[in-house]
Amino acid sequence: MLCFDLLCIGVIVLISINSTSFANAEWVTCSGIVPMRYRNDKISITDFGGIGDGVTLNTKAFREAIYRIEHLRRRGGTLLYIPPGEYLTGPFNLTSRMTLYLAKGAVIKATTDTEHWPLIAPLPSYGRGRERPGGRYMSFIHGDGLHDVIITGENGTIDGQGGVWWNMWRQRTLHNVVIRYVTILAPADSPNTDGIDPDSSSHVCIEDSYISTGDDLVAVKSGWDEYGISYGRPSHGITIRRVTGSSPFAGIAVGSETSGGVEDVLAEHITLYNMGVGIHLKTNIGRGGVIRNISVSNVYMENARKGIKISGDVGDHPDEYYNPNALPILKDVVIKNVWGERVQQPGLIHGLRNAPFTGICLSNIHLGGARGLRDSPWQCSDVSGAAVQVSPWPCSQLTSRQQNGACSSSF
């Protein structure tokens, strides 16, 4: 892999620079691995509408020229000539048996408009982006599985304008996702209509939105059983703020597909009406993965079947090859400042016998039932943690004095 600035080509490439500044030096070179071929077939970027004024976008011209080289397959290959001028362009692919020749004064300059840069799959040898999880932006001058490629000329310039990418990296805006002021609507009886699902995603901001669907409003996920474990990409750094909505399923959810792990999720100032479950953290055997550092606060819910549910027996499996011994770990969850009215059942927390849920903190929570009816009790098993100012009073596993430390950091 040869990379410089935003030029990255996964083949053997000869970069030839005609210069006399080191004429007296004795060079050791490996450039002979790609012989400097003479191409009988020659075309110019101007033949395809290329304009070197530094303003016109020439992506179409480069792609059409290289398409011609690739499909006509002239004997001995083809030389693509770039005359003097500044040719602004988006990224493009090279092809085998070609020479990209830049005349003196020729500049191939990358556009800084990221809308022109497609996302492509990670390198197979890495399985993910090198600096960031997930896919990668296409390289400026790109090639994959090519041979007999030469980039040469008369001291022409390839300018990737990398500053815009470096700034995005430093400001942590590269590959981030921001969703704001969005309305998402689907009928309450529509199947599998989650509103927003950050899946194996990082640095996601979801704010100031209204969602009314037939499934979870927002569900943070990270892969399904053995496939998610193998992929190994967690969701983390997720912020959900000022979201209002209704659904027969969950308002704010994590899972149940959490095999890559989910951590550092903050959800706050959430308003929910006519809900199945207000807050739902869900996983299952075979998932594996770690769910931790989940904080949900300042939630108002009205007319819900269940206020809070944290459960280790939710969701099915992709096939019979999942590993039943891959048990999820769920720990360090803080849920505080929650007020609910007409909540039929306040909460259920069921961990796994061989992987109990730990570090659960419930604080300042009131989940009242319908008027005139007695409040239903909490249901808990295989869980440890603490509860402070919770009504109805939760199960004994969350009220032990020995476990009060689970809530010590939430105040």
Half-sphere exposure of 403 (CA within 13 A, CB side): 19
Sorted by sequence, the CB contacts under 8 Å of residue 105 that are 6+ apart come out as 84, 85, 156
- Pseudo-torsion of CA 404, 271, 329, 364, nearest 10°? 10
Question: How far apart, in whole angstroms, are the C-alpha atoms of residue 68 and residue 41?
Answer: 11
CA R_g for the chain: 29
Burial class (CB in 10 A: 0-12, 13-18, 19+), 46: middle
Nearest to 244 by CA among 174, 285, 195: 195
Task: Name residue 245's beta-bridge partners.
Answer: 211, 272
Give the distance from CA 271 to its chain's centroid: 26
Catalytic-labelled residue, pool 215, 216, 225, 332 = 215
Three-state DSSP state, 131: coil
Q: Which of 84, 5, 96, 91 is nearest to 45 (CA)?
A: 84
- Give yes or no: 215 in active site: yes
Catalytic residues: 215
